[in-house]
Chain A
Amino acid sequence: MPLLEYRQRSGYLFLVVMVGHMLLISAQVNSRTGVPVLERFTFGVFSEVQRAVSSVVMGVSRAWDGYVALRRTREENDDLKRRLAAAEIQVQEQRALADRAKGLAETLELRKSLSFTTTAAEIVGGDSVPGFRTVTIDKGTGDGLRADMAVVAPAGIVGRVVTPLARSAKVQLLVDRNAAAGALVERTRAQGVVVGDGENRLLMEYVSEVADLIAGDVVVSAGIDGIYPKGFVIGRVESVEKNGPAYRRITIRPAVDFSRLEEVLVVVTPPAPNEGERGRQDAHRAAPVDRVPE
């Protein structure tokens, strides 16, 4: 037993001395990164201790934050939900405002290009009776509006003023069953009359059977009805069908998307006879052919 104890003491002493030597060596040797091995080793061990302590602290902190500190989370959650809903509404309002500004800008651009006086108006209401395609605008006789004044949009012809009041007016859309406009096919100059079908399409009537018409042709106002300036885009030919011995039924897709209409221009001065062609050219700039919906 004493021998064993002696050997054990020697072993412990040997270990202590060897560790001391290793520390001594490590203190003088730099690692590849230039840091002394002892420092690197010490820091490595210490960093592991730090990591362990940090893990414990973070664990306790997370446990505290995740359970104990959640007492007011429900109230905060409800409050945040209310805030989010309000923010979403605000975003929608901003988006609507931006769209409206864009529409106004397009309308203003068209107004600048026209040679005749126009008044910008905003659509404030739609038709109240099914089958009638009318809208209400926020301008009336007080702004110089009269009946049968043309209403246009950047995309093309919208309709005409039918019932002007002091501060508002009813506009009959071109797609209404009772609406009509003199028209011609831009490519072949074939003339006819465009009438509404009460839905979302136009019909071009009284077109000669020999007239050259194909789907895709652009139809513009002819300027012969005394209402619409000449050359404004009405729409594109969608289909051509035979309709009796002398005429054909031609379906036109309107250039204006009436479902998205928000701002319009009312032509308050009728176009002069020599301004028809100019107005047409301006209208082409405002509503170029390639913008007409296919």
Chain B
Amino acid sequence: MRAAGVILAVAAALVLQTTLAWYATRGGAVAIDLVLVVVVYVALRSGPTAGLLAGTLGGLAQDALASGGITGIGGLSKTLVGFLTGIVGTQFIVAQSVPRFVVFFLATVVHQAVFMGLYELLDARHFGAPYAAVAEQALGNAVIGVVAFQVVELLPGAVERRRAMKRRPRG
């Protein structure tokens, strides 16, 4: 995966995260993190280096856009998740939907643990007992991630088949 593609993917995720996802939840707590989904996706597809760079880029961008937060915590969390996911992707076969689902789910849990843990550690923000919210987001990210993989993997073939069907003479 080329760097430009990673940057575009992260940018797209940010745009979607701040527009569609926000509208989808009517201004409430967003249950999915599209940037994290992109980071995990890039890490699984391209390895730890791409994963940590995508995480750094996406995380810092999110931190910069967030108000009242500490710039760097999101970046660090996503960098760590991207790197670890990349290692997992190189060490294990994660080509099926279920393993991908698990990876997305666990990546979200780890990300939230690091993200919230750092805020709590620095006494900058308190999250109470966010187990349900984390589980909800992990589930949502996992579903979105698996779907994204399926779409990306199946979309070229479907397009090709559709084109082939158009070229076939009707008889």
Once A17-B52, A25-B118 are accepted as A-B contacts, the answer to whether A10 and B124 lie under 8 Å apart by CB is no
Cα of A9 to Cα of B73 in the assembled complex, Å: 23
Asked whether B85 is an interface residue with its Cβ less than 8 Å from the other chain, the reply is no
Residue B62 CB within 8 A of the other chain:
no
How far, in angstroms, from A163 to B56 measured CA to CA in the complex? 116
Give the secondary structure class of A's interface. helix
A13 with B70: in contact, given A18-B79, A21-B76, A25-B76 (CB under 8 Å)? no
A178 within 8 A of partner (CB):
no
Within 8 A of A (CB), among B64-101: 70-73, 75-76, 79-80, 83, 86
Whether A25 contacts B83 by the Cβ 8 Å rule is: no
CA distance A28 to B47 in the complex (A): 31
Query: C-beta contact mask, B6-50 vs A, less than 8 Å → 1, else 0?
Result: 000000000000000000000000000000000000000001110
Mask of A1-31 contacts with B, CB within 8 angstroms, 1/0: 0000011011001100110011011001100
Instruction: Please report the C-alpha to C-alpha distance between residue A22 and residue B73 in the assembled complex, in whole angstroms.
Output: 8
A14 — which chain B residues lie within 8 A by C-beta? 48, 52, 79, 83
Instruction: Say whether chain B's binding surface is mostly helix, strand, loop, or mixed.
Output: helix
The number of chain B residues touching the other chain, given as a range, is: 10 to 19
Q: What is the distance, in angstroms, from A77's C-beta to the closest C-beta of chain B?
A: 60
Instruction: Tell me which of A13, A25, A37 contacts B49 (CB under 8 A).
Output: A13
A-B contact count (CB 8 A): 48
Instruction: Report yes or no: A22 in contact with B122, Cβ–Cβ below 8 A.
Output: no
Out of A24, A29, A37, name the residue touching B75 (CB < 8 Å).
A24
Contacts of A9 in B (CB 8 A): 49
Q: Interface size class for chain A?
A: 10 to 19
User: In the bound complex, what is the Cα–Cα distance between A216 and B97 (angstroms)?
Assistant: 119
**Which residue of B49, B70, B72, B76 is within 8 Å of A10 (Cβ)?**
B49
A10 and B122 in contact (CB under 8 A), knowing A21-B79, A24-B72? Answer: no
Q: Are B52 and A25 in contact (CB under 8 A)?
A: no
Option from A6, A17, A37 in Cβ contact (under 8 Å) with B56: A17
Which residues of A from 109 to 145 have beta carbons under 8 Å from B? Answer: none
Chain B residues whose CB sits within 8 angstroms of the CB of A17 once the complex forms: 52-53, 56, 79
Report whether A25 and B79 are in contact in the complex, using a CB–CB cutoff of 8 Å: no
Assess the A25–B72 pair: CB atoms within 8 A.
yes
Cα of A29 to Cα of B71 in the assembled complex, Å: 10
24 contacts between A and B (CB under 8 A): A7-B48, A10-B47, A10-B52, A10-B83, A10-B86, A13-B53, A14-B48, A14-B52, A14-B79, A14-B83, A18-B76, A18-B79, A18-B80, A21-B56, A22-B72, A22-B76, A25-B70, A25-B72, A25-B73, A25-B76, A25-B118, A28-B71, A28-B72, A29-B124
Residues of B whose CB lies within 8 Å of any CB of A are 47-49, 52-53, 56, 70-73, 75-76, 79-80, 83, 86, 118, 122, 124
Which residues of A are in contact with B by a Cβ distance under 8 Å? 6-7, 9-10, 13-14, 17-18, 21-22, 24-25, 28-29, 37
